[in-house]
A and B are shown apart, each in its own frame.
Chain A
């Protein structure tokens, strides 16, 4: 197989398990995010791939070559560190072409290459500057150019945009993705920002407590979270306690509701959690024809202009519905309403 293959990877630091049971296949040219809360092992996994940590068990293969015991400097990877790790004693150009200096390539060729790469990250003409003279966003670009210098087989980024302010970060996400598409280089980004992961990735690997919880294309994970953790972590979700009835019907707040399917191992009567995205929930001021409706009382309306969130209490359960201003339901705090949970949006999860 051409691409990256991790099999049965685990890593322990003393008695602490950083990652365990990792099996992962990343085809050539993909953009993958490792997404999870801090301490979930995502950075350790990236460092294992880079060779900066040694796996306790398992093998790492790249294009059918075994990388497991190969030291970092022989792996041909490009990496952007969280601190960026730009060398303060070298100029921008010298930073970018450090890998060529190590390989004994002459100065003139290095200078040309530095210009080329700075052009690539849209930061031309700064090769002679000092690192300290650059802004945060510019340093980011230099770090990316430096990592891409030798056209590595793997491009690894550890929380690369965390130091930038929100606006710049969003711009860089799009830019990074476009750059990756142009170069078609296998890329792995570690992030705790689900929006960032969804913006950039072909595939998202959601991790928590040292394990992979779910992996797949961002929208698939968003629509079909495999667990309550994933549903909560990727976007916001209504997690509603329910009891499984026959077939794919659940009982929510005393009412039968159709869902989009039930995990195999669950039988009738089991306690489950129904996950539904706020934007899929509809609120109506009066009863309408149709199933999957609950009775509730509006407890709060959060109107932030771009979207309107309606908080409804249905028999002790809080359900949040989100709508665009155009679809804004005509309801107010304290009113009795009907809440519709469309069957195709209700995902049943193990409790």
Chain B
């Protein structure tokens, strides 16, 4: 074999290796860059701006660069703590109510045959496409004195004189819970469908009524999924803006409204930024808890 032939052979052997080592990563490079770029532009840069602004000093009408903890210190002011408590209260109750309504509902849907199951889910997804504004506005119509349920209840003779049910504590709570239910169903649905039918059947052969088998088998098996749904909806409700603005009373003002009010009406951008930072920290911690809970999902194990 001549030298040239040997060299050619070596080139052939080297060729694919070279391609694999240099060309392939190059091809992949822009694809890997894309999410990094998007994260940078839409998350990291705004985050850094917010973080910096949250330490700025407030002036009479606007703000100027600085480094002070004044805004973070205001977390201990009654204005903040009151509304934080209000937000937490609404979020906890609305999450509990929506999960409590969604668990039995989702479980029964998951026991249906394929077709009715799909129909129910499509219907639910339709509700999801409605914006919070439309849901809140529709609910306010339903709860209004003239055209809604109050006058119907009056007609039934259950109350003497109809009056509007909103704005009010219960109206706000109902609105928040109502809006959460489809999300709760979507979170619970995968685990529910993976529940083996034979488990509840086995419980029934051992003397458990369908209700007992639900409480002793289904609920314990779904416990982590239910917790995950609760935490996610809690985070979700903490950010509620439209529903409490429309259906809540002034004293029911929640965190997102407070931030918007500080930023837009009072022009106190640094305080709004500090509030957002706090808010995000809480959200991230709770989301991490959710991830852990979901990893421990017990359904599907044998």
Partner of B201, one of A72, A78, A98, A131: A72
Q: Is B220's beta carbon under 8 Å from chain A? A: yes
Q: Would B206 and A81 count as touching, CB distance under 8 A?
A: no
Q: Is A54's beta carbon under 8 Å from chain B? A: no
For residue B202, give the distance in angstroms from its CB to the closest CB of chain A: 4
**Contacts A/B (CB < 8 Å), 23 sampled:** A72-B201, A72-B205, A73-B206, A73-B209, A73-B212, A78-B206, A79-B205, A82-B198, A83-B198, A85-B198, A88-B221, A88-B298, A98-B206, A99-B206, A101-B216, A102-B208, A102-B212, A131-B302, A132-B301, A132-B302, A146-B206, A150-B206, A150-B207
What is the 8 Å Cβ interface bit string for chain A, positions 114-152, against chain B (1 contact, 0 not)? 000000000000000001100000000000001101100
Interface residues of A in 83-121 (CB under 8 A from B): 83-89, 98-99, 101-103
Q: Is B154's beta carbon under 8 Å from chain A? A: no
The verdict on A81 contacting B221 (CB below 8 Å), with A98-B203, A98-B206, A131-B302 known, is no
For residue A96, give the distance in angstroms from its CB to the closest CB of chain B: 10
Q: Would A86 and B217 count as touching, CB distance under 8 A?
A: no
The verdict on A81 contacting B207 (CB below 8 Å), with A89-B298, A132-B301 known, is no
Q: Is B204's beta carbon under 8 Å from chain A? A: yes
For residue B227, give the distance in angstroms from its CB to the closest CB of chain A: 14
Q: Would A81 and B201 count as touching, CB distance under 8 A?
A: yes
Q: Is A206's beta carbon under 8 Å from chain B? A: no
Q: Which residue of A lies closest to B300 (CB)?
A: A88
Q: Is B134's beta carbon under 8 Å from chain A? A: no
Q: Would B302 and A149 count as touching, CB distance under 8 A?
A: no
Q: Is B127's beta carbon under 8 Å from chain A? A: no
Q: Would A89 and B221 count as touching, CB distance under 8 A?
A: yes
Q: Is B122's beta carbon under 8 Å from chain A? A: no
Interface residues of B in 33-84 (CB under 8 A from A): none
Q: Would B221 and A52 count as touching, CB distance under 8 A?
A: no
Complex contacts, A99 vs chain B, CB 8 Å: 206-208
Complex contacts, B198 vs chain A, CB 8 Å: 81-83, 85
Chain B contacts to A: CB under 8 angstroms: 196, 198-199, 201-210, 212, 216-217, 220-221, 223, 298, 301-302
Bound-state CA distance A78–B205 (Å) is: 6
Q: Which 4 A-B pairs have the closest CB atoms?
A: A99-B206, A85-B202, A85-B198, A79-B205
Q: Is A50's beta carbon under 8 Å from chain B? A: yes
For residue A26, give the distance in angstroms from its CB to the closest CB of chain B: 18
Bound-state CA distance A256–B28 (Å) is: 80
Interface size class of A (residues with CB under 8 A): 20 to 34
For residue B164, give the distance in angstroms from its CB to the closest CB of chain A: 47
Complex contacts, A71 vs chain B, CB 8 Å: 204, 209
Complex contacts, A74 vs chain B, CB 8 Å: 207
Q: Would B212 and A81 count as touching, CB distance under 8 A?
A: no
Partner of A102, one of B216, B221, B302: B216
Complex contacts, B210 vs chain A, CB 8 Å: 73
Q: Is A67's beta carbon under 8 Å from chain B? A: no
Bound-state CA distance A258–B99 (Å) is: 76
Bound-state CA distance A82–B202 (Å) is: 11
Q: Is A77's beta carbon under 8 Å from chain B? A: yes
Q: Would B301 and A102 count as touching, CB distance under 8 A?
A: no
Q: Which residue of B lies closest to A147 (CB)?
A: B205
Bound-state CA distance A84–B196 (Å) is: 11
Bound-state CA distance A101–B220 (Å) is: 15
Complex contacts, B221 vs chain A, CB 8 Å: 87-89
Bound-state CA distance A103–B208 (Å) is: 9
For residue A139, give the distance in angstroms from its CB to the closest CB of chain B: 8
The verdict on A88 contacting B203 (CB below 8 Å), with A81-B198, A102-B208 known, is no
For residue A51, give the distance in angstroms from its CB to the closest CB of chain B: 8
Bound-state CA distance A156–B198 (Å) is: 14
Q: Would A102 and B199 count as touching, CB distance under 8 A?
A: no
For residue B238, give the distance in angstroms from its CB to the closest CB of chain A: 31
Partner of A85, one of B199, B208, B209: B199
Complex contacts, B212 vs chain A, CB 8 Å: 73, 102
Bound-state CA distance A87–B202 (Å) is: 9
For residue B223, give the distance in angstroms from its CB to the closest CB of chain A: 8
What is the 8 Å Cβ interface bit string for chain A, positions 47-86, against chain B (1 contact, 0 not)? 0001110000000000000000001111111110111111
Q: Would B204 and A72 count as touching, CB distance under 8 A?
A: yes
Q: Which residue of A lies closest to B302 (CB)?
A: A88
For residue A274, give the distance in angstroms from its CB to the closest CB of chain B: 44
For residue A173, give the distance in angstroms from its CB to the closest CB of chain B: 22
Q: Would A87 and B205 count as touching, CB distance under 8 A?
A: no
Complex contacts, A79 vs chain B, CB 8 Å: 201-202, 205
For residue A329, give the distance in angstroms from its CB to the closest CB of chain B: 50
The verdict on A50 contacting B206 (CB below 8 Å), with A88-B301, A131-B302 known, is no
Complex contacts, B203 vs chain A, CB 8 Å: 87, 98, 102
For residue B208, give the distance in angstroms from its CB to the closest CB of chain A: 5
Other 10 A-B pairs with CB < 8 A, given A73-B210, A83-B196? A50-B201, A71-B209, A72-B201, A73-B207, A73-B208, A73-B209, A83-B198, A102-B203, A131-B302, A147-B205
Interface centre among B202, B209, B298, B301 (most CB of A within 10 A): B202
Complex contacts, B301 vs chain A, CB 8 Å: 88, 132
The verdict on A52 contacting B302 (CB below 8 Å), with A82-B198, A85-B198, A87-B199 known, is no
Bound-state CA distance A60–B171 (Å) is: 53
